[in-house]
Structure 1
Amino acid sequence: MTAPNRPQPQPGILDIAPYLPGKSGKPGSKAIKLSANESPLGASPKALAAMVEAASHLEIYPEGSSRVLREALGEVHGVDPARIVCGNGSDDLLHLLAQTYLGEGDEAVMNRYGFSVYPIITKAAGASIVMVDEDDYRADVDALLGAVTPRTKVVWLANPNNPTGTYLTSAEVARLHAGLRPDILLVIDSAYAEYVTAADYSVGLDLVGAHDNVVMVRTFSKMGLAAARIGWMVGPDHVVDAINRIRGPFNVNLPAQMAGAAAARDVAFTAELRRHNAHWREWLTTALSGNRMRVIPSQANFVMVLFDSPETAARAFETLADAGYIVREIGPSYGIPQALRISIGSEAAMRAVADVLGSMDLGK
C-alpha cells in the first residue's frame, strides 16, 4: 500500500458538514443583521466597562479556572462555583463533552431539528449521531427514548431549541431523564434560557443537582457578549473533573472573564433584554401569522416562520435582503427549506420586517 504524500485527517472528518453561520450584509452595507440571534440592546454597560478595564492588563495570563467568573455565576444562579466549568463559548464545552464521553462505536441521540453543532461534535469524536423525528417541530420525548440503544452514550437536548424556538416543560425533561440509563449523559443546552417566559420551564439545574448523569450548558452570546465567546457548564463533580483534565488551561481570556462576571451580576440589564424580547417576539408572531405564513410559537429570541414552499421562503429571504434585513435561511443547515429564522431586533427592525413580508404577494 502506497503511503499518502501528505498528512491525512482521521477517518470520517471530511464527511462532516461544516457549521454554517448566519449571513451578514455585504461589506460596507447598512443591512440590519437578524440572522444570528444577537442582543438587540447590545451588551451590559457594566460588562463593557469591565472589559475595558481588563484590556489594560493584556500582558498577563488569565486565571486558568475562570475563578472570578465562576464565583459570579455561582452567586447569581445559586450554584457551587466548584461545579461550574467555563469555556470559549458554549461550543467549546459541547466539544469537550463529546470528546470526553463519545468514541468509536458509540451513539448520541438528538431531535431532528436540534442545534447543528451536535452532529459535528459527535462525528468528530468518532461516534454516530441518531436524529429522531419531532412532533410539529418540537422534541418528542417518547421518540427520543425509543431511539436509545445499548450504544447510546449521550443525549443532546437544546431547550429552548434552535432553530425552532420550541421547548420541553420541566416535567417533560424530567421524564426524558427518567427513561435513560444511568450511564447515558443528558446534556441540557439552555443557551436561550434568559429569554424564556413560560412558567413551566426549567433551565435544568434541578436535574443536575439531583443526578450524576446530567449537565447544563449556557452561554453569554445571546446576552450581548457574542464576540467575547463565553460559555459555562454546571455538572456533577465527576464530569467537572473529567472536563477540567482536557480543556485548554487558559480557555477563557481575561477581558471575557471580567465582562462575563459583570454581565452575570447585571440582572437589571438581563431583565430588560427579556422584557424587550418578550414584547417584540409576541408582536412579530402576531404580525406575521397570516399572508400564508405560519409562525412557530417561540420561547427564544427569534421566531421560525414557515412558508408554503422552499421557493416562497427563498423569495421572502431575498425580498427582506433587498430591503436591508438579513435573516437566516435554515434549509442548508437544518433541512427546513420552507422556513426562515428571524432574530428579535429593535422595534424599527421588527416593524420593517413585518411590513416587508406583509406586503409580499406570497401566492405566486
Structure 2
Amino acid sequence: MRVVVIGAGVVGAAVAAGLTRRGAQVTVLEARTPGAGTSATSMAWVNANNKLPEAYFHLNHAAVRAHHDLPGEWFFPTGHLECAVSHQHKELLESRVTRLESAGYPVERVTARRARELEPDLVSPPGAVYAFFPEEGHVHPMRLIARLLGEARDAGAEVVCGAEVTAIEAAEPGVRVGVAGGGTYAADAVVTCAGRWTQGVAALAGAYVPMLDPARAGQLTNGFLVTTTPVPARLSRMITTDRLNLRPDGAGRLVVQALGLDGRAEPGVPVPDDVRQDILARLSAVLPAAEGAEAERAVVGHRSLPGDGLTVAGFADPARRVYTVATHSGVTLAPLLGREVAGELYGEESALLAAFRPGRFTDGTAGPPPTPARRAGQQ
C-alpha cells in the first residue's frame, strides 16, 4: 500500500512509523520542518488525568500505556505530582481522584512528607494536599519525533520538507496529492495529520473537519510557554499547582506554564515582558532553588483543537481513501494513534477510535465547542 501522510509533527511521525511497520510505502509531506507546528510548543505531559468523556479517557489511558511500551530517552515515566492549596482546587482534586480510582487509573493520595521525598526542592504550602499519578510522565517532543521519523525512514519512508499540500484529488484507483510548486504524489490513501491546519487541508478533499482558530486571541487555542535557562534545582517530574505547571526539560532547564495567564496570549504577538516576569516569579515561589532563572525561550503556543474539543480519527470520504487525524492530546496519543490508524488503513476497525469519527460534524452528533479548562484556583 502506498500512503501519503500530510504533516510531520508528533502525530504524523507516529502514523508514518505505524504504517511502515505494516509494510506500507510511505511519503511524509511537511509544509515546514518536522515538529514546527504545535509539537514544538507543547507542555508534553503524557496523561489521561482529566480527560472526559469516558471514551476520551479510555483512549488517553490506552495511550499512556503505549508510551510505556515504547520506552526510550525521549520519555520520562517519572509520574506527576499535583499540589492543591485553595479550597476549590482541593475539592476538585478529591473528586477527580475518587473518579479515577473507580476507573482503575493509578493514583495515590500522598502526605506532605511524601511529596517532599518525591520533590525535595518544592515548596510545601501550609495545608496543601497532594496526589501522585505514578503512570504519567512527560516527553521531549522533538526527540520523540526524531525517534518515530527515524524508524519510518529506516523502513523506507521518504520525508519531504517544504511541501505545502495544495490539492487532494481522487485518481482511480487511489488519490493524488499536489503540493505548491507543481509536484504531485500518487497513493492508495492519504492520512492528514496537519494539526491546527486540519480544517483547510481536509477541505481540499471535500471533507469538513472544523478546528478552533488559533488566529483568534484567547486561552483555548493559545497559551504561554516559558523554557528557563539552566538552574541548580532538583525536579524529576511533571508538577501541577494552583498557579503554575512545570516539568524538567534537560540540562537543568525547566518548562513552565501558568494557565491562568493564557487569556492574554495573542497569536503573532511576542510574550509580554510582564507576563514573562510573572511566570518566573511564580516559579521562584514554587521552586526557590530556581531563583534567578531567566527565560531562555518564551513563546505563544497554538493548540490543535477540533471544533468540539475531542480527537478526530477516521475516514473522511465514502471511498475510504482520505483518513483524517486531529487532536489536542497529540503528544499523549501519538504512539497509540500510530498503531491504531495504521490498523484501520489495513481494514482493522479500532474500538478505541469508534467514538471519534469526523462524520460527527456533518451528522449532527458533535458536541458544543469546549469551554476553557483550567485547574481550580489558577490565576
The TM-score bracket by the shorter chain reads under 0.3
Greater fraction strand: 2
| TM-score between both structures, scaled by the size of structure 2 | 0.24
| TM-score between both structures, scaled by the size of structure 1 | 0.25
